[in-house]
Amino acid sequence: MLPSIMDVDVRGKRVLVRADLNVPVDEGVVTDATRINRFAAGMKPLLERGARLVILTHFGRPKVNEMNPAYSVDKLRPALAQALGTSVVFSDVCGEESAVILSKRLKDGEVLLCENLRYNPGETANDPAFAAALAQLGDVYVNDAFSCAHRSHASTEALARMLPAYAGPLLIEEMEALTSALEAPQQPAVAIVGGAKVSSKIAVLKNLVMKLDHVIIGGGMANTFLYADGAPMGRSLHEADQVETVQEIRKLADKAGCQIHLPEDVVIATEFAAGAENRVVGAHECTAGAMILDAGPRSLSNFQRVLTECRTILWNGPLGAFEIPPFDHATNQLARTAAAVTRQGRATSVAGGGDTVAALNGAAVTQDFTYVSTAGGAFLEWLEGKTLPGIAALQGAAKAA
């Protein structure tokens, strides 16, 4: 259990919050404020209770020691002010005396946004000296950026050991959702794991088959499993060097009693293009010049049946080449099934990963899922069963308190 900032009397305190406001921007204007709005919703109650908010965030990947204005977080201020419902002061540095002075001038309910953390090489190096400089900005520290919790950075790891440290509402919400889906799921529980490569999700698959009842595999990953069974691939994306890995994952699944579900039939085409001529064949019938680009109707029906029988659904990765119709069909339909059983109260559904969020948005069902994570790397490492440095730092602070 992580210590929550919502349980702290914050009146008159400088609350130093690590946020993730790394949002899409076009010509200096925020084009999708979803992440800012979600963050602000959790911070408003603290401001109403008299907190003096000091916000730290990164934005993009500026080169070390290059103060490229394209990566300045000042451009986020209008969207942040609108979401918070109050004006936001800006500091053009984050770990220097002028920023500390601005933080000490704040009154109850006021907000300070500090410049991009990654302008300073001490951030990604997890430099204790830089973390100590950041610590001068606050009286208490809050990590509200689960999406950055897998990084051992100064603002997520070292800083948590220098001030009274707490978890923010977004981070707690994410932790509770992921724990309910993976560590203590209602059973039966299923994971849908898609994407291009088995090699990029070996640890994820090994962890999931040990903890869940079913794993549905789609996309290029499914092709590799089919290839391991002797299925011809034609020109399909697959990894011929991962056959032993597939066999190892299957042995773990058999040992744990987890059933792996693969496509029984597939959609093939000779070109990857919108509206390309395509046909459905058996999973072992891909022709020499064709590519497997989606799961077929029999496969979809089987996957939908599994979802309707499960109480917990965990989703990471599409079933096919969802970016281009008609190869988005199986992903869209399975997403709608997951959304339907969630709406009916028959299952808890948790999804995450960039392609996954894009696929759910494409199927217009994002709002129907119990929880959708935008934390790409951190979400994957959580699925792998790894200890995230930012979370471990908060847990350590709680024990030391």
Handedness of CA 49, 52, 56, 57 (dihedral sign): positive
**Which amino acid, one-letter code, is at 347?**
A
Q: Among 377, 385, 386, 396, which one carries the catalytic annotation?
A: 377
Q: Is 12 a catalytic residue?
A: no
Catalytic residue among 13, 14, 18, 35: 35
Known active-site residue 386:
no
Are 114 and 134 a contacting pair, CB within 8 Å?
Answer: no
Backbone phi, psi, residue 280, to 5°: -100, 130
Q: Cα(183)–Cα(212) distance, rounded to whole angstroms?
A: 9
Verify whether residue 336 is a known catalytic residue. Answer: no
Q: Which residues contact 38 (CB under 8 A, 6 or more apart)?
A: 170
Q: Which of 59, 46, 60 is nearest to 14 (CA)?
A: 46
Read off the tokens for 216. 């549905």
What does the DSSP assignment read for 247-284? HHHHHHHHHHTPEEE--SEEEEESS-STT--EEEEETT
Task: Name every residue whose Cβ is closer than 8 Å to that of residue 103 and which is 6 or more positions away in sequence.
Answer: 14, 52, 54, 91, 112, 136, 137, 138
Which amino acid makes up residue 223? N
Q: Where are the beta strands (DSSP E) in 49-172?
A: 52-56, 88-91, 111-114, 140-143, 165-167
**Which is catalytic among the residues 197, 250, 311, 336?**
197
197 is catalytic: yes
In terms of phi and psi (left: phi > 0; alpha: psi -120 to 50; beta: otherwise), the region of 27 is left
Token look-up 């070292």 returns 158
∠ CA 80-85-90, nearest 5°, is 45
- The Cα 215–Cα 193 span in angstroms is 7
- CA-to-CA distance for 17 and 36, rounded, in angstroms? 13
Catalytic site positions: 35, 197, 354, 377
